[in-house]
Structure 1
């Protein structure tokens, strides 16, 4: 059954005329006619309106809608089964109970974690730092972290320009207002996660939404601190994020996973997991990467580690995206774990060298 046929059948079973459905849903009657004849597909917003007007679960309409779109996409493809098999493996990762399970950590990764634990012990042995040392260290690493995290997302401010914008309040000629705001917002978000650590707070829905709200403050007021309502694609990636209608449930799983694992997993692996899971769910229209990296660094700071900085140059960015895709497409966490372990190790070494 085509989506249009399913829609018409649902309307008829409710004893509604097309005119009545139009009045109840607020959708033009001519457009409903096109939906029922499968000449047009409704948007997510119209699906919600139709489901409400027909008093049917929105997931039932959405399921028929997706099946019809898949049929349309695969109609002229030579090997549709191969495409469906590949898609199934990707969907399974985020939507099945496997999303709440972990693979065993391999010996190589365990060895790297053991080395990291020794460095972490050296770092904690240097504390407490005096107020001036702490202030200088935080200023240096906050600026570097802001520069690279924004650079990953395409911000063109140099490291020096980032410093001038966030610490001196200087406007850089030739740079957009958005780029200035991205730097200022990110610095404020770092302050926010540091305050969360000081206040002994934890990862919650409210805190993650607040971090995202800070990242997009004055840039996109409508979507700052709100889950997306539409589908998205990740530029340059083969991975397709889940449908917008799945986001709330997947984010509930995200927070549940954290609560289940926060006292079991090594904190660096937990930070890497929460980073990758947030990026893969892609719950926001924009700012997913920066928010995920801030969540990761909150977990690291909470456990006495230092800010881990993923570099924004072309080679480093490619390695980062490739490691994420290894999890998203192949469910292979090892490259991403090892990347984050290496970045945490680099950060600890640099902090130790400066004190």
Structure 2
């Protein structure tokens, strides 16, 4: 059963209900894997984790849950890389993150994860949900703890979608023009929303 194929909309009440339940399962998975990583003393990000985050987000909502996209896509003004480059780009991405656990500020690293996953756009669907979850996963591991708060960072990012999308696009444009993303606005957003999460505790 793929609900989007049956309803042709993400606004159907049944889709919305399962989307919430999938989100709960996705963040339970984030917590479990983060705790396991912490307990063995080896913070890591892997393609297996990222694929699992996507699977939990869109299982039974969209096709190809947890699988890299086999086609070209366009997201608003952003043109992600060709589909055939996705595996190599994702390999380079996770290696880049794993090389910088100890020398990079946790919020800076999490911001990079949030942007780069959106930039590569490795899945057919659920990329935003996956990027926000991966961002939070990396943040928690890099901090060595789960920040307190009733409303967590990924939810707050979603609630501030227009500002979030604008900051992403600014980073995409800079990366396309200069080979380096301008993450200043996205970082400022993550810092502010993390403060809101902590204040909600």
Is TM more than 0.5 here? yes
SS of the equivalent of 2:168 reads helix
SS of the equivalent of 1:310 reads helix
After superposition, what is the alpha-carbon deviation per residue over 1:156-200, rounded to whole angstroms, capped at 9, x for unaligned? 6xxxxxxxxxxxxxxxxxx43221111110100000000112212
Aligned: 1:213 with 2:55: yes
Q: CA deviation at 1:319?
A: 0.7
Runs of 4+ in 1 over 3 A off after TM superposition: none
How many aligned residue pairs are there? 175
Q: Distance in 1 between matches of 2:27 and 2:117?
A: 18
Q: 1:244 aligns with which of 75, 78, 83?
A: 83
Tell me if structure 2 keeps the 8 A contact 1:196–1:202. no
Aligned: 1:289 with 2:153: no
Which residue of structure 2 lines up, in the alignment, with residue 310 of structure 1?
A: 156
After superposition, what is the alpha-carbon deviation per residue over 1:117-149, rounded to whole angstroms, capped at 9, x for unaligned? xxxxxxxxxxxxxxxxxxxxxxxxxxxxxxxxx
Q: Distance in 2 between matches of 1:227 and 1:275?
A: 17
Which residue of structure 2 lines up, in the alignment, with residue 195 of structure 1?
A: 32
Which residue of structure 2 lines up, in the alignment, with residue 227 of structure 1?
A: 68
> What root-mean-square deviation, in Å, do the aligned CA atoms of Structure 1 and Structure 2 show?
1.7
Q: Distance in 1 between matches of 2:49 and 2:164?
A: 25
Q: Distance in 2 between matches of 1:198 and 1:338?
A: 27
Give the structure-2-normalised TM-score: 0.81
List gaps (5 residues or longer) in structure 1: 1-153, 157-174
List gaps (5 residues or longer) in structure 2: 1-8, 38-42, 175-180
Q: Distance in 1 between matches of 2:27 and 2:60?
A: 17
Give the structure-1-normalised TM-score: 0.47
Q: Distance in 2 between matches of 1:299 and 1:248?
A: 20
Which residue of structure 2 lines up, in the alignment, with residue 280 of structure 1?
A: 119
Describe how 1:12-51 pairs up with structure 2 within 5 A: none
Tell me if structure 2 keeps the 8 A contact 1:305–1:348. no
Would the alpha carbon gap of residues 205 and 312 (structure 1) be closer, same or farther in structure 2, given more than 3 Å must change?
A: closer
Larger Rg: 1
Q: CA deviation at 1:305?
A: 4.3
Which residue of structure 1 lines up, in the alignment, with residue 98 of structure 2?
A: 259
